A and B are shown apart, each in its own frame.
Chain A
Amino acid sequence: MPFKPIQLLITFIITLIFGVAASGIAFATQKVSITYLELIVDRPPLLSNVLPEPEDSGLQGARLGTKDNNAGGRFSGQQYSLIETRSNDLSELIEQAETWYQQGHRLLLANMPGPALKQLARKFNDRDLLIFNTAAADNQLRTSDCFNNLLHTLPSRAMLTDALAQWLVAKKLKRWLLITGPRNEDLAWATSIKRAAKRYNTTVVAEKAWTFNTDLRRTAQAEVPLFTQTDEYDVVVVADELGDFGEYLLYNSWYPRPVVGTQGLTPTAWHRVVEQWGAAQLQRRFDTLAGRWMTAIDYANWAAVRSIGEAVTQLAASDNFSVSNSAAIRQLLLSDHFQLAGFKGRKLSYRPWNGQLRQPIPLIHPRALVSQSPQEGFLHPKTDLDTLGFDRPESHCRLQQAAGASL
């Protein structure tokens, strides 16, 4: 049964005033099922193939989130389960989602690229299935291709490129050489960083498309210096999302300048080197569970499951809340009353206009955290986290407004 806004508001107020007193003994256990869909995508052969991506990236994050939820749920009376399906056939996945929906499951994690996600979201757009985008960074999903029931826990590309651009501006590295790979993702990343260049008034002194098809491991020293001989720049910005050639730009550019972007100094949602703000504990829990490092996709899945957990715990305080009421969960997530501790040094919340999880962006190199954006001095009337990515006026998305949301 959907909540009336006024009921929900009262629930919020009660929750705020009294907190949620929950005694593990007195509660009947509520079962909360979260479904997980992953489209397995074949990775093309890469030049830089030293460190491959883990094959269960995302899934392990969702599992850890479920474990964390259950650790709290046993005291507040919820039991969480994760139902997983992975396939390389999208139609099979969409069929599975339909079956789950018919069975009454209302919460779905989607670990798949943007185009596949769009197909899935379109199919359920007018139904009460709450979908979390945990793997697609596409800017369009935050600006023009809007779906009412789709939230994004992975940062958009624009959030990443804004995070990097703020740091470059803070360091006064304002002349950029942009090198872009041939794939769609690379072009999307390059478009995104060019938006940031415009936003922060920096100069792209030259823009070069990567066209080499030799094995750069042998020729980087010979080829890259010539390739990067352009007007003088302060920094080389590389757009190579899959890691094909970017690694070979470091220390090989014509001018001895730092390399940033998808290689070198990299903005990312999460990385092993993030240890501050209690993150060491999350990293350790993850390592114990999965036996490897936690990726950005793992983090996005973890954050989605934890968001559900926090929302359910808050809502469960009211008598007539049913866990299949995804509308109430969605409404709470998009409201001012939601906060998630995400090991990034401050509370995380969702942008009500496009469902994007606000979050600081770490800037890392493979062995250390260098900085975290937003940088000092980039101001915003509401929250400086909204200097990253698409602020309300920059997005056409207007998700149906939640009660109590004033942002």
Chain B
Amino acid sequence: MNIRKVFFLLTTCASMMATQAIASIAYISNEKDNTLSLIDLDTLEVIDTVNVGQRPRGIVFNKDFSKLYICASDDDTVQVMDVASHKVINELPSGEDPEQFALHPDNQRLYISNEDDALVTVVNTDNRTVIAQIDVGVEPEGMAVSPDGKIAINTSETTSMLHWIDTETNTLIHNTKVDQRPRHVEFSKDGHQLWASAEIGGTVTVLNVDNKQVIKKLEFKIRGIHPDKIQPVGIKLTRDGRYAFIALGPANHVAVVDAKSYEIIDYLLVGRRVWHMEFSPDEKLLLTTNGISGDISVIDVDNLNVTKSIRVGRYPWGIAIRP
């Protein structure tokens, strides 16, 4: 019996080590646990939990995946984690209450939303200095930088605007009013479209980046769920331009949208209060953070169904995946 147990443990360890070496890993920030949960995308199991700063929310990798930037909102800092050792090696002067951010394609400039200060702070991640601070509306949250690096977009939740920032000059060039409480923005891979979610408005607005005009406003309807509870937050677009996935918050569903015709194809039931999402590197899987149920739902992108839920820490918020 004992020998069998030992053998079992040994083989498990060995296989875990083997998969760890090759598998993609999802990093999930647990807002109320001050930790990151690490999920192996081959086994879809939590393989590690790492302590980080207070109230971790937005997380993003640098381009070679050697560093992970973590918004530690209640510490008023962005932590820089060395991915190999899982040690926090530095902090960035993020401004107060950093919530979400986006890394410029130059791998150097980080655009950070300072929720309490109505500011966007631009930080040089190499020498850890503030390049600029830009006044935006009340409660800035969503951040995205266009694939060509020319424009950064910030959403302000209470002012309900998209703020267009010229990354050359770090000044505002345009503001677009959208529905109430815009939470997240996402560029299409070709950079011509911008998708913006309005949590309380219950809509997603698709804009033409070149002329800044609205192409389409998406509305959602799920049988048996009050329209007020359908609150879009996270948005993910597939590289091939086929699908958009929209996380609908307390409606506990992810909407699947045909990104060309803007038809809503399906609603997938996930965990409770779904906010943010990330694809596996091959885009076969989409993982969602479900804050209230404290778990991650795994969506099979080819078959458009939910295959698994994985328990993580309390109030999972952000997610980033390294290949």
User: Which residues does A use to contact B, with CB under 8 Å?
Assistant: 16-24, 68, 71-72, 74-76, 278, 281, 284-285, 288, 306, 310, 313-314, 317, 339-341, 345-347, 383-384
* A310 surroundings in chain B (CB, below 8 A): 160, 180
Alpha-carbon distance between A336 and B53 when the two chains are bound, in angstroms: 44
Pick the residue among A71, A317, A384 that contacts B138 (CB under 8 A).
A71
Which partner residue on chain B sits nearest A313 by CB separation? Answer: B177
* A284 surroundings in chain B (CB, below 8 A): 116
- In the complex, are the beta carbons of A341 and B176 less than 8 A apart? no
User: Which residues does B use to contact A, with CB under 8 Å?
Assistant: 115-116, 118, 135, 137-139, 156-161, 163, 172-181, 199-202, 205, 212-214, 217, 226, 228-229, 231, 250
Pick the residue among B138, B180, B205, B226 that contacts A340 (CB under 8 A).
B180
User: Can you list the 8 inter-chain pairs with the closest CB atoms, starting with the nearest?
Assistant: A72-B159, A20-B177, A346-B228, A341-B200, A341-B180, A75-B175, A341-B181, A71-B138
User: What are 18 A-B residue pairs whose CB atoms fall within 8 Å in the complex?
Assistant: A20-B177, A21-B174, A21-B177, A23-B173, A23-B175, A24-B175, A71-B118, A71-B158, A72-B158, A72-B159, A72-B161, A288-B116, A306-B158, A313-B177, A317-B177, A346-B200, A346-B228, A346-B229
Alpha-carbon distance between A20 and B178 when the two chains are bound, in angstroms: 7
A61 vs chain B, min Cβ distance (A): 14
- In the complex, are the beta carbons of A75 and B172 less than 8 A apart? yes
B78 vs chain A, min Cβ distance (A): 18
- In the complex, are the beta carbons of B205 and A19 less than 8 A apart? yes
Which partner residue on chain A sits nearest B55 by CB separation? Answer: A280
- In the complex, are the beta carbons of B181 and A19 less than 8 A apart? no
- In the complex, are the beta carbons of B172 and A68 less than 8 A apart? no
* B181 surroundings in chain A (CB, below 8 A): 278, 341
Which partner residue on chain A sits nearest B182 by CB separation? Answer: A341
- In the complex, are the beta carbons of A18 and B180 less than 8 A apart? no
Alpha-carbon distance between A278 and B156 when the two chains are bound, in angstroms: 12
A-B contact count (CB 8 A): 96
Which partner residue on chain B sits nearest A342 by CB separation? Answer: B200
* A20 surroundings in chain B (CB, below 8 A): 176-177
Known A19-B217, A68-B159; 19 more pairs at CB < 8 Å: A17-B214, A19-B177, A19-B178, A20-B177, A21-B176, A21-B177, A21-B213, A22-B161, A74-B135, A75-B175, A278-B139, A281-B157, A281-B158, A339-B180, A339-B200, A341-B181, A346-B231, A347-B200, A383-B226
Which partner residue on chain B sits nearest A23 by CB separation? Answer: B174
Alpha-carbon distance between A56 and B262 when the two chains are bound, in angstroms: 50
- In the complex, are the beta carbons of A22 and B175 less than 8 A apart? yes
Chain B contact residues, majority secondary structure:
loop
B112 vs chain A, min Cβ distance (A): 16
A255 vs chain B, min Cβ distance (A): 35
Alpha-carbon distance between A21 and B174 when the two chains are bound, in angstroms: 8
Alpha-carbon distance between A358 and B162 when the two chains are bound, in angstroms: 27
Which partner residue on chain A sits nearest B159 by CB separation? Answer: A72
Alpha-carbon distance between A285 and B156 when the two chains are bound, in angstroms: 15
Which partner residue on chain B sits nearest A17 by CB separation? Answer: B214
Alpha-carbon distance between A384 and B226 when the two chains are bound, in angstroms: 9
Alpha-carbon distance between A19 and B179 when the two chains are bound, in angstroms: 8
* B229 surroundings in chain A (CB, below 8 A): 346
* A23 surroundings in chain B (CB, below 8 A): 173-175
* A16 surroundings in chain B (CB, below 8 A): 217
Alpha-carbon distance between A310 and B181 when the two chains are bound, in angstroms: 12
B255 vs chain A, min Cβ distance (A): 18
Q: Known interface pairs A68-B158, A339-B180. Does A75 touch B228 (Cβ–Cβ under 8 Å)?
A: no
Q: Known interface pairs A278-B139, A341-B180. Does A18 touch B200 (Cβ–Cβ under 8 Å)?
A: no
Which partner residue on chain B sits nearest A288 by CB separation? Answer: B116
Q: Known interface pairs A20-B177, A24-B172. Does A339 touch B201 (Cβ–Cβ under 8 Å)?
A: yes
- In the complex, are the beta carbons of B158 and A341 less than 8 A apart? yes
* B174 surroundings in chain A (CB, below 8 A): 21, 23
* B139 surroundings in chain A (CB, below 8 A): 278, 281
Alpha-carbon distance between A310 and B176 when the two chains are bound, in angstroms: 14
Pick the residue among B157, B175, B250 that contacts A76 (CB under 8 A).
B175
- In the complex, are the beta carbons of B226 and A339 less than 8 A apart? no
* A75 surroundings in chain B (CB, below 8 A): 137, 159, 161, 163, 172, 175
Alpha-carbon distance between A21 and B177 when the two chains are bound, in angstroms: 6
